[in-house]
Structure 1
Amino acid sequence: MLTIDKLNFSYGDLKVLWDINLEVHEGEIVTVVGANGAGKSTTLKNISRLVKPTSGSITFQGEDIEKLESHQVVERGIVQVPEGRKIFPEMTVLENLRMGSYIKSARKAREANVERVFGMFPRLKEREKQLGGTMSGGEQQMLAIARGLMANPKLLLMDEPSLGLSPLFVKIIFEIIQEINRQGVTILLVEQNVFQSLKIAHRAYVLETGRVVLTGEGNDLLSNEHVKKAFLGM
């Protein structure tokens, strides 16, 4: 579904990504884990076309997306749930959701999708008229995910969805990720919560200082000695 081949990226003179190779197959949850500053979020920004690679290629369903603009990437079915949620704090829950369906294909199904995400997130239904900025961090993260689903994604990019949340909401968010995947959405997940993300991943990549150092099935990497020592404190 998604293929990244020898991706390199620099912020000016600072090189951040080095020959990244990564694949996501339809129906998978693929996790990219690593310490802060490893290049995880930058990888997602390259896929979303928020930044442009120095070199390398990115293809989605056989199409080279390197020359596309960000809105065209969304139209192809790649939708990103950004780090830090980035909801519209002065808009209600319902208004935030409707903002997620701005592309033409999603507009047609807007009201049906509102009902669908309210079915997945009953807490948002209860708060549909509440301003987004007055909700808890966990509720805002639910809203950010629900807003992403409003665009009918084929591939959902999720950037640190558990960041800053209580243990209870972390558990809820990872359950939501699995449920979205069961409903047919392929997921590329970037996470610092290595244990939880590897536990739900079909496959995973470990990034260190902008390089892929390990790849494999999620459960296999959980038992890898390097992963246990570097990320799990074992």
Structure 2
Amino acid sequence: MLRIDKLNFAYGDLKVLWDVDLEVHEGEIVTVVGANGAGKSTTLKNISRLVRPGSGTIRFLGQDLGRLQPHQVVEAGLIQVPEGRRIFPEMTVMENLRMGSYVKGTRGDRERNIAWVFELFPRLREREKQLGGTMSGGEQQMLAIARGLMGNPRLLLLDEPSLGLSPLLVKNIFDILTGINRQGVTILLVEQNVYQSLRISHRAYVMETGRVVLTGQGDELLANDHIRKAYLGM
């Protein structure tokens, strides 16, 4: 579904990504884990065309994304839920959800998708008239994910969905992501919470200083000595 080959990127003179190779197959949850500053979020920004790579190719469903603008990437079915939630704080829950369904070809599915995300996140149904900015951090993260789903993603990109949440809410969010995947949405997840993200992943990539240093199945990496020592404190 998604294939990245030899992706290199720099912010000015600061090289951030070095020959990154990555694949996501349809139906998978694939996670990119690593410490802060490893290049995980920058990889997502390159996929979404929010920044332009120095070299390398990114293909989605066989299409080279190099010539596309960010809105065209979204229209192709590749939707990113950004780090920090980035909901519209002065809009209600329902208005935020409707903003997610202005992608070309999704308006006809709006009401069906609203019903779907309310099943996934009952808390949002209870707060559909509440302003997004008055909600808790966990509720805002639920809203950000739900808004992304309103665009009928073929591949959903999530950037640090556990950031700033309590351990109980983190587990809840990851369990919901597993449920979304089981309903047919392929997921590429960027996370610092190594344990929870590897727990739900089919495959994962470990990034350190802009390079992929390990790859494998989620359960294999959880048992890896380097992962256990460097990220899990074991």
- TM-score interval, normalised by the smaller of the two chains: over 0.9
- Residue 82 of structure 1 deviates from its aligned partner by 0.4
- Residue in structure 2 matched with residue 76 of structure 1 by the alignment: 76
* 1:196 alignment partner in structure 2: 196
* Residue in 2 that maps onto 1:223: 223
Q: CA deviation at 1:190?
A: 0.3
Query: What CA distance in whole angstroms lies between the structure 2 residues aligned with 1:61 and 1:128?
Result: 35
User: In the alignment, which residue of structure 2 is the partner of 1:87?
Assistant: 87
Q: How far apart in 2 are the matches of 1:120 and 1:212?
A: 33
* TM-score of the two chains, using structure 2 as the length reference: 0.99
**Equivalent residue for 1:172?**
172
Percent identity over the alignment is: 77
The residue that corresponds to 1:52 in the other structure is 52
**Cα distance, 1:120 vs. partner?**
1.2
Shift of 1:167: 1.2
**Structure 2: which amino acid aligns with 1:40?**
K
1:194 Cα shift? 0.2
Q: How far apart are residue 142 of structure 1 and its match?
A: 0.2
Matched, 1:126 2:126: yes
> CA RMSD of the aligned region, Å?
0.5
Aligned residue for 1:31?
Answer: 31
In the TM superposition, residue 29 of structure 1 has moved relative to its aligned partner by 0.2
TM-score by length of 1: 0.99
Whole-angstrom CA distance in 2 between matches of 1:18 and 1:103? 33
The code of the aligned residue for 1:75 comes to E
The corresponding residue for 1:12 is 12
In the alignment, structure 1 segments of 5+ residues that lack a partner are none
1:162 pairs with 2:162 = yes
Q: Per the alignment, in what secondary structure is the counterpart of residue 105 of structure 1?
A: coil
Deviation of residue 110 (structure 1)?
Answer: 1.1
| Greater shift in the superposed pair: 80-89 or 102-111 | 102-111
| Distance apart, 1:46 and its partner CA | 0.3
Deviation of 1:115 after TM superposition, in Å, equals 1.3
Runs of 5+ consecutive residues of structure 2 not aligned to the other structure = none
Secondary structure at 1:74 match in 2 = helix
Aligned residues: 234
Moved over 2 A (4+): none
1:146 aligns with 2:149: no
